[in-house]
Structure 1
Amino acid sequence: MGMLATAFGVAPTALGLRSAQSAPAAEPGDNLDLDAMTLTFEENFDTLDVSAWGPGTKWIAHTPWSGDFGAARFANPTKTYPFTVKDGILKIEATKDKEGDWRSGLLASVDPKGNGFAQQYGYFEMRARLPIGVGVWPAFWLIGKDRSKSTAEIDILEYYGHKPDGYSSGVHVWHRDGRHYSTFNRVEVFPEADPTQFHTYGLAIDHDWIRFYFDRRFIWKTPTQPEHRQPLYVLLNLALVEEMTQDTPDPSEMFVDYVRVYAP
């Protein structure tokens, strides 16, 4: 997610302050063929294996670089908050605590020591229902494991409640010397589709191209940057946009059916 640096960490850019790039037209190789791929990671949320920081759990509840972002702090998980699972569906809940401060949830597939799931190349997909209301900021995104010289980031989904007609997806490289590569596209699908119903948000990456999909339909693509040719790990969260929570529904809820990753 377009990022605010926090100790060279990343966080989505809340107001999307980037210029949209013209996307190449779809070509035959842009169509998904999951029958030709192998399922390598599957989270169906029948249960949830999560801890605050690991080790040894499938997910941790913070960014591995310890960087919160947005108007809600990401909470350590308990049995009832901010994550619950029922009938194979994960609920991530954002709400105010007794002091009036917002808290919410984030899941990351790698812990601070780099243990966990990451994969170079393949197809990454989440099936989810999004919350509505000004201030909500759900996301599904990837980060490269090697952050020694730069941080490679891919935002598959960033949805802003104050712009409900679509969502943003984008690609970033954040260099330690201050250089920043960024390209993104606004996906205006929700005048026809309903964001509060389940849809799939996907991304396929190989050596040459990063391709984005909505309901497994090709949307746009951009050339793969050298920094993205490495193992990438998964993050999903319900964040809130700074200075936009006055009218945010309390609670706000994001529902996730599954997260799956396929290898070529």
Structure 2
Amino acid sequence: MVTRVLLLLLVLAGFPTLGRADTGDELNLSDLIQTFSEDFDALDVSAWGPGTRWIAHTPWNGDFGSAAFADPKPGFPFTTQNGQLRIEAAKGADGKWRGGLLASVDREGKGFAQQFGYFEMRARFPAGKGLWPAFWLIGLDRSTHTSEVDVVEHYGHIPARYTASVHVWDRKEPKKSRTTHKFVAVPPNSLYADFHTYGVKIDGEWTRFYFDRREVGSVPTAAEHHQPMYMLIDLGLGAGWPIDEAPSPSYMYVDYVRAWQKR
């Protein structure tokens, strides 16, 4: 996931923002069927699998940001209550920060992934400088490129917006990596006050981003994104921002994660 410093460099280097203006069009799911639903009545998770619906690390074992992603244990970093998932980030007695991440496939690529369709999370974010909640997708094939769609990344230093991005990370020649991004303006502090939906609809031509099921931007779908993609949810810290004012503990609440695909 792109850090603040890297994002600034990309902007200065002339990388494009999402292709079309905000349309405000309402999401239409009439031609899709639901393929995945996680309502968090309980949580089926292990550190690495196999055999659980979620694992608690990136499948390639790549932590990022200023908080390590913890193996799950009773009460931390995941709890479920009343059909909601709570992800906690906290500073331990050792002075180190730990947060939580869920990925829908394991290290062998087993789990939920699909090519194209609509992916959505309904969540409420914690307030605080240095916090970095996110919902994102990664392509299964990372042999030459890492294909990434950041449905939402929210930086706690900027309470009046979030970022949606598309990346093609070239694993052999990093200078050839490509990024497009969109800053989505929201009423200040509104992402902390209530739940909102964050979605992306991907097909062979367009990748369209949605906030509360209204389109906020789009970009042509990269050829490298024509592959099955899996979902990740996390509460991290940093992203290039200082974390000295981050509140401990902090909680991200997720009501559901769902996916749809063409009939």
Mapped contact 2:38–2:258 kept (Cα < 8 A): yes
Secondary structure, counterpart of 1:105 in structure 2: strand
Secondary structure, counterpart of 2:58 in structure 1: coil
Secondary structure, counterpart of 1:160 in structure 2: coil
Cα-to-partner distance string for 1:156-214 (whole Å, 9 max, x where unaligned): 00000001111000000011222110010100113384433100000000000000000
Instruction: Measure the CA separation in 2 of the matches of 1:243 and 1:130.
Output: 17
Q: For structure 1, which runs of at least 5 residues remain unmatched after alignment?
A: 3-12
Mapped contact 2:18–2:219 kept (Cα < 8 A): no
Instruction: Measure the CA separation in 2 of the matches of 1:94 and 1:246.
Output: 14
Residues 191, 99 of structure 1: alpha-carbon distance in 2 compared, 3 angstrom cutoff: closer
Secondary structure, counterpart of 1:227 in structure 2: helix
Secondary structure, counterpart of 2:188 in structure 1: coil
Mapped contact 1:71–1:243 kept (Cα < 8 A): no
Mapped contact 2:138–2:146 kept (Cα < 8 A): yes
1:58 aligns with 53
Instruction: Measure the CA separation in 2 of the matches of 1:170 and 1:63.
Output: 18
* Count, aligned residues: 253
Question: Quick one: which amino acid aligns to residue 259 of structure 2?
Answer: V
2:157 aligns with 162
1:231 aligns with 228
C-alpha deviation, 1:22, in angstroms: 5.5
Q: Does 1:21 align with 2:17?
A: yes
Provide TM-score, normalisation by structure 2.
Answer: 0.92
1:260 aligns with 258
- Computed over aligned residues only, the root mean square deviation of the Cα atoms, in angstroms, reads 1.6
C-alpha deviation, 1:23, in angstroms: 3.6
Q: For structure 2, which runs of at least 5 residues remain unmatched after alignment?
A: none
Seq. identity, %: 54
2:142 aligns with 147
Instruction: Measure the CA separation in 2 of the matches of 1:35 and 1:79.
Output: 40
Mapped contact 2:123–2:252 kept (Cα < 8 A): yes
Residues 14, 236 of structure 1: alpha-carbon distance in 2 compared, 3 angstrom cutoff: farther
Mapped contact 2:125–2:191 kept (Cα < 8 A): no
Cα-to-partner distance string for 1:122-143 (whole Å, 9 max, x where unaligned): 0000000001110000000000
Instruction: Measure the CA separation in 2 of the matches of 1:22 and 1:166.
Output: 15
2:76 aligns with 81
